[in-house]
Amino acid sequence: MQTNFSEAQLAKPDIAEANDILRKCVHCGFCTATCPTYVLLGDELDSPRGRIYQIRDMLESDKPASKAQVTHVDRCLSCLSCMTTCPASVHYMHLVDLARVRIESTYSRPLAERFLRKVLATVIPSPRLFQMSLMANALVRPFAKILPGRLKGLVGMSPAGLQGLSPVDRPQTFPAEGPRRMRVALMNGCAQQVLRPAINEASVRLLTRHGCEVVIAEGAGCCGALVHHMGDEVGSHSAAKANIAAWEKLRDQGGGLDAVIINASGCGTTIKDYGFMLRTEPQWATRAAWVSDIAMDISELMKTLGLQNAVTPVNAPVVAYHSACSMQHGQRLSSLPRNLLEMAGFDVREPAEGHLCCGSAGTYNIMQPDLAAELKRRKVASLMNTKADVVATGNIGCLVHIGGGLNEEDGPPVLHTVELLDWATGGPAPDVFE
């Protein structure tokens, strides 16, 4: 793609980066076939190629983003399916993130939308605030079907049975069972602590059983993905720096740190990108790159460690594996979690349209409720067609979003992959089988 940035514009690191990305695009259109919003809407402006043109025009003109540009960029799920498809290796993720920063610095959203975005950015990253908000949501949950779109999405985030925060998520160290093979920090996240604390509990059991000393770092918190995708560069960088400092402290206190382990693939995609996010800040660039280098999805670590003493549970359920977009497109881990489940003895099935997003995408199901609902409907239908007993996934957003749709259809429950791996290697059966 031809670009026409001025020398003064190209002197800015973000514009120079955008220019390099834009010039790689060859207009081939392969991306349109796998883009969820283009599949649903059939509008070129709601395809990756169309958004790339709009982002180029927005950045080249050096003018405030227009309402139309904002509308089409906002509709992007950041599922990154286009990056998997693209033969020219266009780094669309970095381009659309730069565009979102530009939008937030130049475009004034309606007051109600600004308020909602502020609430989401404040509440969800704080486990205690988020838990309190979901308790309030539970009171209106019975009326969810009659609520308007965005309110319905907010209420839909509340699980049917809200649990208390787990003691596992407090800063502490869990010793390895037997000889210590690795010392790792577990990124316990924010929303996941509230929505399904069993995931972190299963992760700790699985890792310690396989010889890992697991540390929950004091001072580590939200990965920053939520505000990052809202274009809040200051907020996302602040979250990243807090985590980096917390994990450096673990490393330097003694014992080293072999890996930062993430069990929510949306967080993993962001943490693995810390090096890029902070590349222009001399005080943080090398430190951020260190974290990105040692960050691993829990499935990657389990491949390295190897499943030990895996025994197929009695009456093991048939599993439909949903590969979250951040797992298969963001981190390019499309088959590894499924392979681990098969190694553990489960019969694993894949749904049709496995490459298409379920519509969760962070806060997308709240901000774009109609599109998210249609994507969820398609995903639920494909999962139901597998005739599986349970659905497994590696991302909390997908788990809750799809779980709500399957529950409405009297479909199977949704679990995290680690809950099944923990069960197969000596842990307790997940609560849905008790």
The CATH number of residue 63's host domain is 1.10.1060.10
* Residue 1 forms part of a structural domain: no
- Please check whether residues 186 and 281 belong to one and the same domain: yes
Let me know whether 146 and 48 are in one domain: no
The count of C-alpha atoms lying within 13 angstroms of the C-alpha of 332, restricted to the half-sphere facing its C-beta, is: 5
Give exposure, 285-316, as e/b (b: 16+ Cβ within 10 Å).
bebbbbbbebbbbbbbbbbebebeebeebeeb
CA angle 228, 231, 237 (to 5 degrees): 45
Same domain, 56 and 120: no
Q: What is the pLDDT at residue 149? A: 62
CATH for 383:
3.40.50.1860
Backbone angles phi, psi at 189, to 5 degrees: 70, -165
Helices 92-106, 48-61: inter-axial angle, 10-degree rounding:
50
Torsion-angle region of 286 (φ positive above 0: left; ψ -120 to 50: alpha; else: beta) = alpha
| Same domain for 215 and 144 | no
- How much is the average pLDDT of 62-84? 96
Which of 302, 319, 340 marks a domain boundary?
302
226/147 same-domain check: no
User: Are both 291 and 354 inside the same structural domain?
Assistant: no
Q: What is the mean pLDDT of the chain?
A: 93
**Residue that terminates a domain, selected from 97, 132, 156:** 156
Q: Verify that 327 and 266 share a domain, yes or no.
A: no
Within a domain: residue 162?
no
Phi, psi of 255 (to 5 degrees): 95, -15
End position of a domain, from candidates 281, 302, 323: 302
Helix axis angle, 369-384 to 396-408, nearest 10°:
70
The pLDDT value recorded for residue 147 is 58
Whose structure tokens read 């990305």?
A: 21
Q: Does 357 lie in the same domain as 375?
A: yes
Range of the structural domain that residue 123 is part of = 111-156
Q: How high is the pLDDT of residue 163?
A: 76
Average pLDDT over residues 254-262: 93
Sort 254 into a burial class: Cβ within 10 Å, 0-12 / 13-18 / 19+: exposed
What's the number of domains the chain is made of? 4
Alpha helices (H) along 157-219: 191-195, 198-209
24: pLDDT strictly greater than 90:
yes
Q: What percentage of the chain reaches a pLDDT higher than 90?
A: 86
Q: What pLDDT does residue 133 have?
A: 84
